[in-house]
Amino acid sequence: MVTCKETSAIIIALHKKGFTGKDIAASKIAPKSTIYLIMKNFKESGSIVVKKASGRPRKSSKRQDRLLLNLIQLRDRGTTSTELYQEWQQAGVSASVRTVRQRLEDGLVSRRAAKKPFLSRKNIKDRLIFCKGTGIGLLRTGVKSFSLMNPLSNCLGHLEKSLSGEDKVSATISPVSCQQ
């Protein structure tokens, strides 16, 4: 039930004039259930003041929660909840270690590294065309390859052979040294 005091006062005034809940709901001031609840609360308490919400009060305010999040973000993220609890105690918040953990779980966002996708056949073909066109991966024998350090280069060499239609012998190829 979210209504302002003015709306509640209008509902109560209409009710005092003799309008029923159904008549008031027809005027579309508020939903029917809200109108009946306001009328019931007025009959019980005699005023339109909203009752205090029941339940256990929070141990920390929003500002204190932000302080806790800043503590963990400014430091090593490996800081334990017990250590943070002790620092939070020094800041004047009397909350348990479990409460500290709950506040961190609410405020922190976990992230996962993106997976690198495998190369598709089209990407492999495009890389081969690029390597042939630019001369990247040129070896002493004049045969082009795409990566000298890649353990899959032998497999890719077979793919290069099948894509280009030429039969290249890779047994006599020796890589160019970078220290020449």
Residue with tokens 């966002």: 109
| Residue 75 pLDDT | 76
> Mean pLDDT of successive 10-residue segments in the chain (180 residues)?
76 86 83 87 81 83 86 78 86 87 81 81 88 66 48 47 48 44
Q: What is the pLDDT of residues 23-76, one digit of tens each?
A: 888 888 888 888 888 888 888 888 777 777 788 888 888 888 888 888 877 877
Backbone angles phi, psi at 144, to 5 degrees: -95, 145
